[in-house]
Chain A
Amino acid sequence: MEFQKLGIVGGGFMGKSIAQKVAASGIDVVVLEVSKPQAERAREELAASLDAEMAKWGITAAEKQALLARVCFTDRIADLAATDMIIETVTEDLATKQDVMRRLGATCPPDRVFITNTSTLSITEIASASGRADRVVGMHFMHSVTQSPIVELVRGAETSDATTATALELARTLGKTVIRVFESPGYVVTRAMIPFLNEAMYLVLEGVATAEDVDLGIRLGYEFKMGPLEYSDRVGLDKVLGWMEHLWRELGDFKYRPCPLLRKLVRAGHLGRKSGRGFFVWVDGERVSTTPAESRP
């Protein structure tokens, strides 16, 4: 299938990043936001993110212009009806995602495939609201969408072979390597990653080492691009906490029980890069200092 135009529900971080990746692959994109001002803000943020990519020499001014011309932002769900496929990227919350599926199901032609971008939730449950569970498939885009070479493709209980094939074709068009996963909480990458992040946080809590040294050890010792605590700060500590609570609830194993230090930081509003402080201090999206004093052993 040749994709000409894709719909994306949600112009948040993931929605914008996916829109950027899709547009860079030469496909037009319609991004749905809840209101006109939100849609306008998402457009401005996408332009800013492209400016940042230009500052890193990743794209040229002409490419930025061409890319922006391929993405249109709207607050009318009816604008998605004429797209080849729709990717929803709203908040990682079952009820919210089900509501989106319900509305999409009522708006789009019955043969249209919906992709839900989730890292932990049940595709089967999300799909059940769409009225076309066989045409819903999960695709977990990894951070950062424009750089990461892989996606997890998750089949729900009802997902058809044809729907899976369409999603595989999209992944190929976007230049992504696919790992195929059956539905299970956290799928593969999140589930394997969470206990690792949690353990790094416990090391800081127990005073075994500073956040700085935990990250440095892991990064250099295992040739990771970044340490688990910087990764958590970049993703957002509230989001990491959400993943952990979900796995803890679903799987009931102690290894997923969120570290109390993580809870403390989230309660204090220290959410990582986006709030300027988490395990590290951040200014303008860059890590500028070592561990805040109270986190030292």
Chain B
Amino acid sequence: MMVLVLNCGSSSVKYQVIETSLALIERDADHALAKGNIERIGTSSALHTYSPAGRETLSEGGEILEHRQAIADILRLIADPERGVLKNASEIAAVGHRVVHAGERFDRSVLLNPEVERGIQACSELAPLHNPHNLRGIEAARRLLPGVPHAAVFDTAYHHTMPPHAYLYGLPYVLYQRHGIRRYGFHGTSHRYVGWRSAALLGRPREHTRLVTCHLGNGASVCAIDRGRSVDTSMGFTPLEGLLMGTRCGDLDPAVVFHVMHKEDLTEQQVTALLNKHSGLAGVSGLSNDMRELLAEEAKGHERAHLAIEMFCYRLRKYIAAYAGAMGGVDAVIFTGGIGENSPPIRERSLRGLEFMGLELDPERNRAAVGRAGEISAEGSALRALVIPTNEELLIARDTLRLVEHAAEPAAGVH
């Protein structure tokens, strides 16, 4: 079955065409035929980048004013006689949509219908920067592909298994009851994917494995996975909490917010932008939110690049050890996301000091595991460390397929 996977942002659409089936999943042989993205939607200089598997990537510029036009452009390219991967767009049998926030309404992926869409709409209050755009994409895709089922796969759903003592804040309980103030967690599809994928590499059953998965990209989060289930995660009510990120501050004493607003005479909108867009690696270093750039500058002696990297690694190390404590131990630490998959020095520095937990890093393996899966701990290390490239789109396609074929839910929402 051909599944179109869509991830719609405010002015962008990322997509993949994935061929999957229950038989292919069984052999772990489902794969993307093409992937691409459209940026700067809403302008006359939108950019469509399209990569059919095994062929040359191409970029086209032009006017794309809204999501519907963007998705129409995707359908045109993937079924193009020369550059396409399908004979006809009608080969698409289902569409899987990434949706950021499901609140407490959905604990798993669901087929879209008007009621589900109203539910997603209701969660927009919790994710005003994401859900409305996801919905816009759903609406546009449904109009263009009216005859096929559409499914929603939520970022928050995987963390639905967290216990209340992990997801509640130390605030008056009534705020949870009235406004849903709690930890929801994000990057759920990525944590779920690498958690599942690690079982084969570790060679031990999920039922006996405790993992700390580290999704380290421009946004970054850590997840404690106990026997296949998320039991805690570092992002909270919004993606602002937890690790130091590219431009987000991560954990912060909330009193700082009011003090800074008062001292700098900032509005709510300004302080929100400060915490989300001007903080983290970029804010501390004063240079960049790009870890590669910071590592290069650190090597030249830039002190605050060094400080930002140290803060990033230190906070990650704290979370890994804390989650080990939360689960009563940990069997493996998994790295994924742009930084997690590609930066041996960051992995090495984040794990430094965890030898007391039985970790022995293999520097050679660590250097070699770039952009591909592999173990980076030494042979015989009690706590193991792995790199696993994430593939959220594949899980979105698989969930969509299973919903369409009414296939059984994977155990504990794993793969």
Query: At the interface, yes or no: B270 with Cβ under 8 Å from chain A?
Result: yes
Q: Could you say which residues of chain A place their CB within 8 Å of the CB of B42? A: 26
Q: Could you say which residues of chain B place their CB within 8 Å of the CB of A53? A: 270
Q: Would you call B277 and A147 a contact (CB within 8 A)?
A: no
Q: Would you call A59 and B273 a contact (CB within 8 A)?
A: yes
Q: Mark A1-40, 1 if CB is under 8 A from B, else 0.
A: 0101000000000000000000000100000000000000
Q: Which 8 A-B pairs have the closest CB atoms?
A: A57-B274, A58-B270, A57-B278, A56-B270, A60-B277, A26-B42, A58-B273, A57-B273
Report the Cα distance A129→B138, complex, angstroms: 46
Contact of B270 among A2, A26, A57 (CB under 8 A): A57
Interface hit among B119-127, B166-174, B181-189, B261-269: B261-269
Report the Cα distance A58→B247, complex, angstroms: 13
Q: Could you say which residues of chain B place their CB within 8 Å of the CB of A59? A: 273, 277
Query: At the interface, yes or no: B403 with Cβ under 8 Å from chain A?
Result: no
Query: At the interface, yes or no: B362 with Cβ under 8 Å from chain A?
Result: no
Most chain-B Cβ atoms within 10 A of its Cβ — which of A2, A57, A59, A147?
A57
Report the Cα distance A236→B66, complex, angstroms: 41
CB distance from A263 to the nearest CB of B (A): 31
Chain A 23-81 residues near chain B, CB threshold 8 A: 26, 53, 56-60
Report the Cα distance A4→B65, complex, angstroms: 8
Report the Cα distance A57→B260, complex, angstroms: 12
Report the Cα distance A31→B11, complex, angstroms: 24
How many residues belonging to A are interface residues under a CB distance threshold of 8 Å?
10
Q: Would you call A58 and B269 a contact (CB within 8 A)?
A: yes
Report the Cα distance A2→B247, complex, angstroms: 32
Q: Mark B8-19, 1 if CB is under 8 A from A, else 0.
A: 000100000000
Q: Would you call A56 and B264 a contact (CB within 8 A)?
A: yes
Residue positions of A touching B, CB distance < 8 A: 2, 4, 26, 53, 56-60, 147
Report the Cα distance A19→B53, complex, angstroms: 44
CB distance from B69 to the nearest CB of A (A): 11
Q: Would you call B269 and A147 a contact (CB within 8 A)?
A: yes
Q: Could you say which residues of chain A place their CB within 8 Å of the CB of B277? A: 57, 59-60
Q: Could you say which residues of chain B place their CB within 8 Å of the CB of A2? A: 65-66
Q: Would you call B11 and A26 a contact (CB within 8 A)?
A: yes
Q: A2-B66, A4-B65 are in contact. Are A60 and B267 (CB under 8 A)?
A: no
Q: Could you say which residues of chain B place their CB within 8 Å of the CB of A56? A: 264, 266, 270
Report the Cα distance A60→B264, complex, angstroms: 17
Q: Could you say which residues of chain B place their CB within 8 Å of the CB of A147? A: 267, 269
Closest to A63 in B: B277
A-B residue pairs in contact (CB < 8 Å), sample of 27:
A2-B65, A2-B66, A4-B65, A26-B11, A26-B42, A53-B270, A56-B264, A56-B266, A56-B270, A57-B266, A57-B270, A57-B271, A57-B273, A57-B274, A57-B277, A57-B278, A58-B266, A58-B267, A58-B269, A58-B270, A58-B273, A59-B277, A60-B273, A60-B277, A60-B278, A147-B267, A147-B269
Report the Cα distance A56→B269, complex, angstroms: 10
Beyond A2-B66, A57-B278, 5 additional contacts (C-beta under 8 Å) are A56-B264, A57-B270, A57-B274, A58-B267, A59-B277
Chain B 264-313 residues near chain A, CB threshold 8 A: 264, 266-267, 269-271, 273-274, 277-278
Report the Cα distance A56→B66, complex, angstroms: 31
Report the Cα distance A277→B289, complex, angstroms: 42
Report the Cα distance A2→B66, complex, angstroms: 10
Q: Could you say which residues of chain A place their CB within 8 Å of the CB of B266? A: 56-58
Report the Cα distance A2→B68, complex, angstroms: 13
Q: Could you say which residues of chain A place their CB within 8 Å of the CB of B65? A: 2, 4
CB distance from A35 to the nearest CB of B (A): 28
CB distance from A173 to the nearest CB of B (A): 12
CB distance from B11 to the nearest CB of A (A): 7
CB distance from A50 to the nearest CB of B (A): 13
Report the Cα distance A147→B268, complex, angstroms: 10
CB distance from B9 to the nearest CB of A (A): 13
Closest to B275 in A: A57
CB distance from A169 to the nearest CB of B (A): 15
Report the Cα distance A70→B266, complex, angstroms: 26
Closest to A146 in B: B269
Report the Cα distance A189→B274, complex, angstroms: 32
Chain B 37-71 residues near chain A, CB threshold 8 A: 42, 65-66
CB distance from A288 to the nearest CB of B (A): 14
Q: Could you say which residues of chain A place their CB within 8 Å of the CB of B273? A: 57-60
Closest to B247 in A: A60
CB distance from A188 to the nearest CB of B (A): 24
Report the Cα distance A147→B278, complex, angstroms: 20
Q: Could you say which residues of chain B place their CB within 8 Å of the CB of A57? A: 266, 270-271, 273-274, 277-278
Closest to B41 in A: A26
